[in-house]
């Protein structure tokens, strides 16, 4: 069977994120100290790293629940005569600068983490030491926190390895476990003094070839290949009914959903569509400034960039589906997005891509596939698909004025569990499926 459209990098990292968010609950700390209220002085997001680490240079890290990999320097390592922070920055040396100074995020981040530890650049590989302190999952069953399965560990570490390789250069990434208490103390003494762990200590080694194999495991566990085969076999693609003369340019705010790194602001809007090659893309429309006072395109860009935008062009849904290479401009589904207070709204009006030919199952499978990706891009929340009538101006008036549709307006609400149930509704194998789905309308 053909591999999922998400099987290649950078899509592979997005697949890892889909799996992690679907199957692994993040955790909070066991406790905090009164003197650790500040942000870490050496705080850095991994994506902002511009140079490799020096030999034996160390960082503490957390993988936050908003998928930011936050780095810093832990001053607790002074217990092992490791003085990275001293002399590097002017900081409050009495502040406890552990991982809690890394974990606080922005909107749609619940201040929990998936993984934590230390990294160190060794001579021929990057070492990851999983001393995670208060973010350990060991001994927390009373809090309903269970240890990770082997599969969950593989996919979490594959995601981190891919990110570390991208930031610090092509090399093997080696993970070492430890346990809270005496073993952590002994292992930490070796790690921070740059003494090699004994050869008998269990380790997991990741390279680019292995990452691809683990990526296929994640794809299988999300059932993505089967779902994409179902969609391509059962849902006919559509193209715009017509074009305007002034809409031949790509949307200036065009974004591949896999590249999005921050949530939408309250009531912020986007247009979106799922292309025939399974690429989910977003942009901003400029056609409704006069009718509804919507100035989304101007709000997205700094005024200094206005001179580079052709304001006479029309940037609607077709500007997200321009043919390129092997892509012919066809589309599965399209509409608008709007970030509400407690959910992500998907408004199903798209003009020339509107469709009414789908049955209930086709609609639910298609929307679950889209909702999975929207949750990863914009944060864990309910995704609500709402009906809109393109021939009734009241719908657009309500949407662009940040209003709420009547309760009787048809809607479909997808939670994380709903999405997973639907993705496996089309499976043909005998693996255990999630419990029976009850979509809320």
Is residue 269 located within the same domain as residue 387?
yes
Is residue 215 located within the same domain as residue 296?
no
Q: Quick check: is 245 in a domain?
A: yes
Is residue 282 located within the same domain as residue 239?
yes
Question: What is d(CA 267, CA 63) in angstroms, rounded to the nearest whole number?
Answer: 28
Domain count across the chain: 2
Is residue 52 located within the same domain as residue 144?
yes
Q: Quick check: is 430 in a domain?
A: no
Give me the pLDDT at residue 6, please.
72
Q: Which of 7-11, 120-124, 180-184, 387-391 has the lowest mean pLDDT?
A: 7-11
Q: Are 99 and 60 a contacting pair, CB within 8 Å?
A: yes
Residue whose C-alpha is closest to residue 429's, from 233, 232, 225, 235: 225
- Is residue 211 very low, low, confident or very high in pLDDT (cuts 50, 70, 90)? very high
Q: Which residue among 203, 220, 237 closes a domain? A: 220
Strand 203-206 to 269-275 pairing: unpaired
Residue whose C-alpha is closest to residue 88's, from 117, 119, 57, 65: 57
DSSP-derived secondary structure for 16-62: HHHHHHHH---B--S---TT--SPPTT-EEGGG--SPPPTT-EEEEE
- Is residue 133 very low, low, confident or very high in pLDDT (cuts 50, 70, 90)? confident
Q: Quick check: is 255 in a domain?
A: yes
- Is residue 86 very low, low, confident or very high in pLDDT (cuts 50, 70, 90)? very low
> 22-73, pLDDT tens digit by residue?
999 999 998 777 666 655 566 889 999 989 999 999 999 999 999 999 998 8
For 311-331, what is the mean pLDDT?
95
Give me the pLDDT at residue 106, please.
55
Is residue 127 located within the same domain as residue 72?
yes
Domain limits for position 29: 11-220
Question: What is d(CA 101, CA 38) in angstroms, rounded to the nearest whole number?
Answer: 6
Q: Quick check: is 429 in a domain?
A: no
Is residue 256 located within the same domain as residue 155?
no
Is residue 205 located within the same domain as residue 85?
yes
Is residue 214 located within the same domain as residue 239?
no
Give me the pLDDT at residue 295, please.
85
Q: Quick check: is 436 in a domain?
A: no
Give me the pLDDT at residue 287, please.
77
Burial 314-348 (b: 16+ CB within 10 A, else e): bbbbbbbbeeeeeeeebbbbbbbbbbeeeebbbbb
CA distances from 145 to 31, 141, 189, 313, 361 (A): 15, 5, 28, 53, 35
| Phi-psi group of 270: left, alpha or beta (phi > 0 → left; psi -120 to 50 → alpha; rest → beta) | beta
Q: Is the dihedral of CA 154, 159, 160, 166 positive or negative?
A: positive
Is residue 343 located within the same domain as residue 216?
no
Q: Quick check: is 176 in a domain?
A: yes
Q: Quick check: is 365 in a domain?
A: yes
Q: Quick check: is 107 in a domain?
A: yes
Is residue 123 located within the same domain as residue 50?
yes
Is residue 204 located within the same domain as residue 277?
no
Is residue 149 located within the same domain as residue 257?
no
């Amino acid at each position: 069977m053909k591999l999922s459209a998400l099987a290649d990098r950078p899509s592979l990292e997005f697949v890892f994120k889909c799996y992690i968010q679907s199957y692994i609950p993040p955790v909070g700390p066991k406790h905090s100290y009164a003197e650790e209220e500040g942000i870490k002085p050496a705080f850095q997001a991994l994506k902002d790293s511009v140079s490799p680490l020096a030999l034996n240079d160390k960082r503490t890290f957390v993988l936050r629940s908003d998928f930011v990999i936050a780095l810093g320097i832990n001053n607790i390592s002074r217990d092992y005569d490791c003085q990275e922070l001293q002399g590097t920055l002017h900081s409050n040396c009495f502040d406890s600068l552990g991982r809690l100074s890394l974990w606080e995020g922005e909107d749609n981040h619940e201040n929990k983490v998936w993984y934590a530890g230390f990294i160190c650049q060794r001579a021929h590989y990057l070492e990851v030491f999983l001393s995670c302190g208060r973010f350990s999952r060991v001994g927390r069953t009373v809090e309903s926190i269970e240890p990770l399965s082997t599969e969950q560990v593989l996919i979490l570490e594959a995601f981190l390895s891919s990110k570390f390789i991208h930031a610090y250069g092509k090399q093997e990434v080696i993970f070492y476990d430890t346990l809270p208490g005496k073993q952590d103390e002994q292992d930490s003494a070796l790690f921070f003094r740059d003494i090699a762990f004994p050869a008998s200590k269990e380790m997991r080694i990741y390279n680019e070839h292995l990452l691809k194999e683990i990526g296929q495991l994640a794809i299988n566990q999300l059932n993505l290949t089967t779902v994409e085969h179902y969609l391509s076999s059962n849902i006919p693609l559509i193209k715009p009914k017509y074009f305007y003369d002034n809409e031949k340019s790509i949307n200036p705010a065009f974004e591949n959903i896999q590249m999005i790194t921050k949530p939408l602001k309250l009531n912020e809007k986007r247009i979106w569509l799922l292309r025939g090659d399974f690429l989910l893309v977003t942009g901003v429309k400029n056609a409704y400034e006069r009718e509804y006072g919507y100035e989304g395109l101007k709000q997205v860009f700094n005024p200094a960039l206005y001179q580079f935008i052709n304001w006479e062009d029309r940037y609607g849904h077709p500007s997200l589906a321009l043919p390129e290479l092997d892509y012919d401009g066809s589309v599965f589904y399209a509409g608008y997005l709007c970030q509400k207070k407690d959910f992500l709204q998907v408004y199903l009006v798209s003009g020339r891509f509107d469709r009414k030919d789908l049955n209930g199952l086709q609609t639910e499978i298609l929307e679950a596939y889209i909702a999975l990706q929207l949750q990863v891009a914009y944060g864990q929340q309910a995704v609500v698909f709402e009906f809109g009538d393109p021939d009734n101006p009241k719908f657009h008036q309500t949407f662009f004025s940040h209003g709420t549709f009547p309760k009787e307006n048809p809607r479909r609400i997808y939670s994380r569990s709903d999405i997973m149930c639907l993705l496996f509704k089309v499976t043909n194998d005998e693996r255990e499926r999630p419990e029976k789905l009850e979509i809320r309308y």
